Amino acid sequence: MTFNDGAKGVPVKELTLNIEPHQSGSGDPSPDNVRDISGYQSINVTRAGKNLLENQAISRTYNGVTFTINADKTITINGTATGGNASISIHPDAMSFDEPAILSGCPEGGSAPTYRLRARSATQASTYYNDYGSGVEIPAGEQFDSVLFSVYSGTTVDNVIVKPMIRSVSFADAEYEPYQGETYTITIPTAADAVYGGSLVINEDGSGALTVNRGFVNLTGGSNEEWAESGADYYCRFRSAIFDGKTPVQNTDDILCNRFIGSNTQGMHTGTAGLAVRKAKFPDSVTTLAECVTWVQSNNLECVYPLAAPQTYALTANQVTTLLGTNTVWMNTDGTINLTYRADLAKYIINIISSNQGD
């Protein structure tokens, strides 16, 4: 999430990170399309300025070209690429952003046969986002596994300066600024176990609270099972006693499962006695109640369900603060981020008076 709270001088009072469980893969879960579910035992919250690209390069000479990393993390390049292309890895780790971003920093003169700044897509084979000097937009949600600068064979560069930067498209100002990021790791309280859904509130002093609103259960091999055959359907019901005290909301279809769609008509639902699986989504090989029992007991069934009573845990200060000016905040979880600003009554009154002076 990118925002600028410096224009009015009003600081952010609170960040709320809405956490969703991560489910791998895509499409409807089924016995043939298993989508594993994972929770979070720690959450990384990162705040940075306009530049989201951390230059991790180290000065080097390669194939006749010298790359020098300057104090402001720009790169000065000199030499002639001999014996092949000369490249330097700026950011070797995977990156992805929820909103469109712009990669920029290649100096004038960039082209396919001379030099370029580029980000390599992790989702599209042999695909690069190339900046030749005017920036290139990276679509929202695109994942890329590295950013590098390349000088191609036979090209001579003389004090060429690269200013590597990735910024949100919401920032029109393309002027370079160094990466200024801080990452804070918030450890989930032991009592909360792994978090599969909820919200993390971080106050201006760094303290906060974690609210967990979903529970997780692995039904394979669980006790308190009961089996029934009704017409052409076979049922497996798991009593809530196996949920380790995390009581589910009754009569809801709001369930995530790694092998079934969380719907009463599709295979998985919550009832007054716990979680139930219907025959509707069993493999074709399951044609008897005995085969149903064998299949369920032999396959890993992961379920995330809403809690009847959400649980809240107080967190000690984590030093997560939001400064005035340009800020970008992201976390290593699925979900959204909300902001609450501190009201500045004096500034509000001044703004009202100023806006009415022309009336």
The answer as to whether 76 is a domain residue is: yes
**What does residue 253 show for φ and ψ, rounded to 5 degrees?**
-100, 5
Share of the chain above pLDDT 70, in %: 80
The answer as to whether 359 is a domain residue is: no
**What does residue 191 show for φ and ψ, rounded to 5 degrees?**
-65, -25
Tell me the C-alpha distance between 85 and 64, whole Å: 9
Tell me the C-alpha distance between 32 and 260, whole Å: 10
The answer as to whether 133 is a domain residue is: yes
Output the six-digit token pair for 284.
Answer: 């074709």
Q: Which domain holds residue 143?
A: 60-176
The answer as to whether 259 is a domain residue is: no
Kindly report the CATH number assigned to the domain that includes residue 121. Answer: 2.60.120
Kind of pairing between the strands at 225-230 and 12-20 = unpaired
Whose structure tokens read 């001579």? 156
Whose structure tokens read 């669980």? 222
Q: What is the pLDDT of residues 178-234, one digit of tens each?
A: 988 777 777 788 888 888 998 888 776 667 788 999 988 888 766 677 888 887 778
Identify the pLDDT of residue 344: 44
* Total Cβ atoms within 10 A of residue 84: 12
Across 92-101, 167-176, 190-199, 318-327, least confident range: 318-327
The answer as to whether 8 is a domain residue is: no
Output the six-digit token pair for 255.
Answer: 């369930």
The answer as to whether 202 is a domain residue is: no
Q: pTM for the complete prediction?
A: 0.64
- DSSP-derived letter for residue 350 is H
CA atoms within 13 A on the CB side of 47: 19
The answer as to whether 288 is a domain residue is: no
- Overall size of the chain counted in residues: 359
Q: For all residues of the chain together, what is the average pLDDT?
A: 80
Q: Are 37 and 44 in contact (CB under 8 A)?
A: no
**Alpha-helical segments (H) within the chain:** 289-298, 345-356
At 334, is the secondary structure helix, strand, or coil?
strand
111 vs 330: which has the higher pLDDT: 111
- Cα of 98 vs its chain's centroid, Å: 8
If one counts the domains in the chain, the total is: 1
Q: What is the pLDDT of residues 222-262, one digit of tens each?
A: 667 788 888 777 888 887 666 767 788 888 888 899 999 88
Q: What is the pLDDT of residues 87-127, one digit of tens each?
A: 999 998 888 777 888 999 999 889 999 999 999 988 888 88
The answer as to whether 358 is a domain residue is: no
At 61, is the secondary structure helix, strand, or coil?
strand
